[in-house]
Structure 1
């Protein structure tokens, strides 16, 4: 999917609301947290996503945002970790979904891409197309069924 970065929604009120009501902090992790974040992504999502998250830590500042409550990770969103100008992977643990944590992570990541100089961003390997259409007015890229993920090796264990 393609997202115009010049028209992103303002999520500052939602971020403030989540901090006040749910005690959720959104931020970029720092290198000493790499093993914690990568291990969490592997545990709750997949080893492939953990590898992409690890790649996000190869940049400074880290090309990832996390949502946390105290010492508990709730969600993450990476960008430019697998390909230039790509958003993802991203995820929020099941019990925290529906609170807009994912949307805040998404928009913060897309704003970071805009600050890197991009006018548009690509969301690769999209699952919930309607979610991205509604959240950031993303559009499906015609003939994009084949992608950088088409021959992805997957862990069998």
Structure 2
């Protein structure tokens, strides 16, 4: 005999979290769409230009995505003249990523859109609520496998 489990989709944790994520993504994607880059491209620009993470495998680890996804994206970004690939000065087998002037310019432009999106949603919470929200998000992610197929 099976026990009836009460479940209400719109009241569920997963639905609410996914919906919030998609609402945030949509807000940001609408802002950056005219610039012609994806959220993942934006994340790579941030990793390289803001965090100085220059090795493809380190970029993948930092973003929590598979290396193959980053490899394909870096090829596309190179074609779009957003990055250049250079051999590492100490190890010619290793490749380093640098932003081009175009990549740096787009990074600066999109930073304003990212900040505006963050302000839009963060302004709905008090400072205390926001700190608690971030703490709870970190707690929920703690101990989980962070590699995901795409951001």
TM-score surpassing 0.5? no
Q: Pick the structure with greater CA Rg.
A: 2
> Which is richer in helix?
2
Give the TM-score taking structure 2 as reference length: 0.29
Using CA pairs under 8 Å that are at least 6 residues apart, name the structure with larger relative contact order, 1 or 2: 1
Give the TM-score taking structure 1 as reference length: 0.29
> Which is richer in strand?
1
